[in-house]
């Protein structure tokens, strides 16, 4: 049966082998954050935050990545609430928190906090540092960027492809938040929206990026990373399970992913980067969860339309996701 039979017609692929990394399963719910919510294509708001009695009473330790005393945080159920708790602990505005890494203070995109936190993970919060404005001449269709977002309204650079247009501009680094393109604010936009805008910029023209880099500790100054190897950072936690943050409903404590799930998530995340220019292990995990029990690609397509319709995944991408999940099931890695 042809893939997509009876499916609602979707938009064409946003980008090809280009820029954007799946966000963290949508913006958090609850009180409006400092950015005022997501962009036009962001998923709809979920249920109200669960009452405190339903939230996991787990305590995590945290530091500011550039250096600080150790703080203790608890009582959060999504990424936006987590950032709020970190801001409270260090007496910062919540809007200052750009993203978090697990078990390292470095800007290591393989250790980026997404929708899951190992129960023994240490959280390092990266806050806003120097702002900069850079002019870029788009000499090629592909800029060489992979974009992600923090689940609370900030999109930033996760990876820079070696030898690409952006790789030759030393002022642009992994971890830089993209505030605006040609004066158009991107605060509140998802990664795939930012990737689409970058893809649509005309070749042979100059455009302007307004960026904010994370504040760096002394030992990180002048270090410019091209980002981690795809899929090399899927290990979560230290063996006691994970806290899974959700945009709808309470956070839950779950077992670590199985070997099949880890491999399937890695392969789907690779496909997201190839088709859409984004990397997002939480989005990939959601897709694997939706697809692992489906009997054929059309059932998977219907499930993705219902749960993740805002992404407008093309049929060929869905077919490849189905194949990646099937390969992982039978051990074809």
pLDDT at 93 over 80: yes
Say what the pLDDT of residue 220 is.
Answer: 54
Judging by DSSP bridges, how do beta strands 97-102 and 206-214 pair with one another?
unpaired
- Give the pLDDT score at 38: 41
Higher pLDDT, 77 or 218: 77
Name the residue with higher pLDDT: 40 or 159: 159
- For residue 204, CA distances in Å to 142, 161, 165, 254 come to 12, 20, 12, 49
What b-and-e string marks burial along 12-31, b requiring 16 or more CB atoms within 10 Å of the CB?
Answer: ebbbeebbbbbbbbbbbbbe
Given a cut of 50, whether residue 194 has pLDDT beyond it is yes
Query: What is the overall mean pLDDT for the chain?
Result: 79
* 56-215 carries CATH number 2.30.42.10: yes
Residue 50 binned pLDDT confidence (cut-offs 50, 70, 90): low
Task: Name the more confident of 257 and 329.
Answer: 329
Closest among 30, 47, 53, 28 to 38, alpha carbons compared: 28
N-terminal to C-terminal alpha carbon distance within the chain: 26
Phi-psi region of 231 (alpha: psi -120 to 50; beta: other; left: phi over 0): left
C-alpha–C-alpha distance, residues 71 and 91, integer Å: 11
Query: What pLDDT shows up at residue 150?
Result: 86
Task: Count how many Cα atoms sit within 13 Å of the Cα of residue 67 in the half-sphere of its side chain.
Answer: 5
Question: How confident is residue 92, by pLDDT bands cut at 50, 70 and 90?
Answer: very high
At 67, list the tokens: 């250096």
> Can you tell me the distance from the alpha carbon of 34 to that of 76, in angstroms, rounded to the nearest whole number?
17
Residues counted in the chain: 333
pLDDT digits (tens, 9 = 90+) for 252-287: 666 667 888 889 988 998 898 888 888 888 888 889
| Residue where the block lists tokens 């805008």 | 197
pLDDT at 251 over 80: no
Q: Output the pTM of the full model.
A: 0.68
What does the alpha-carbon distance between residue 172 and residue 76 come to, in Å, rounded to a whole number? 33
């Amino acid at each position: 049966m042809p893939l997509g039979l009876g499916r609602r017609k979707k938009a064409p692929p946003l980008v090809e082998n280009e820029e954007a990394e799946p966000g963290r399963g949508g913006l958090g719910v609850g009180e409006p954050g400092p950015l005022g919510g997501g962009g036009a294509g962001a998923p709809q708001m979920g249920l109200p935050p669960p009452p405190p009695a339903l939230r996991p009473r787990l305590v995590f330790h945290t530091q500011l990545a550039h250096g600080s005393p150790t703080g203790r945080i608890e009582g959060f159920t999504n990424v936006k609430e987590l950032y709020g708790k970190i801001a409270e602990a260090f007496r910062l505005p919540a809007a200052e928190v750009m993203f978090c890494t697990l078990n390292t203070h470095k800007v290591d995109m393989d250790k980026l906090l997404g929708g899951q936190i190992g129960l023994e993970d240490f959280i390092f919060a990266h806050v806003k540092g120097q702002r900069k404005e850079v002019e870029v001449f788009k000499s090629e269709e592909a800029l060489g960027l992979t974009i992600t977002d923090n689940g609370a309204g900030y999109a930033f650079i996760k990876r820079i492809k070696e030898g690409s247009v952006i790789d030759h501009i030393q002022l642009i680094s992994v971890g830089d938040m993209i505030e605006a393109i040609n004066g158009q604010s991107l605060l509140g936009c998802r990664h795939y929206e930012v990737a689409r805008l970058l893809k649509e910029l005309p070749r042979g023209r100059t455009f302007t990026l307004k960026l904010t880099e994370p504040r760096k500790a002394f030992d990180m100054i002048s270090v410019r990373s091209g980002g981690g190897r795809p899929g090399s950072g899927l290990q979560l936690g230290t063996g006691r399970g994970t806290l899974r943050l959700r945009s709808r409903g309470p956070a839950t404590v779950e077992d670590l992913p199985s070997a099949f799930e880890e491999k399937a998530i890695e392969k789907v995340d690779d496909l997201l980067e190839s088709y859409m220019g984004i990397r997002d292990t939480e989005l990939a995990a959601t897709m694997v969860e939706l697809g692992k029990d489906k009997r054929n690609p059309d059932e998977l397509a219907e499930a993705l339309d219902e749960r993740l319709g805002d992404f407008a995944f093309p049929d060929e991408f869905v077919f490849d996701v189905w194949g990646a999940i099937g390969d992982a099931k039978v051990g074809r890695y």
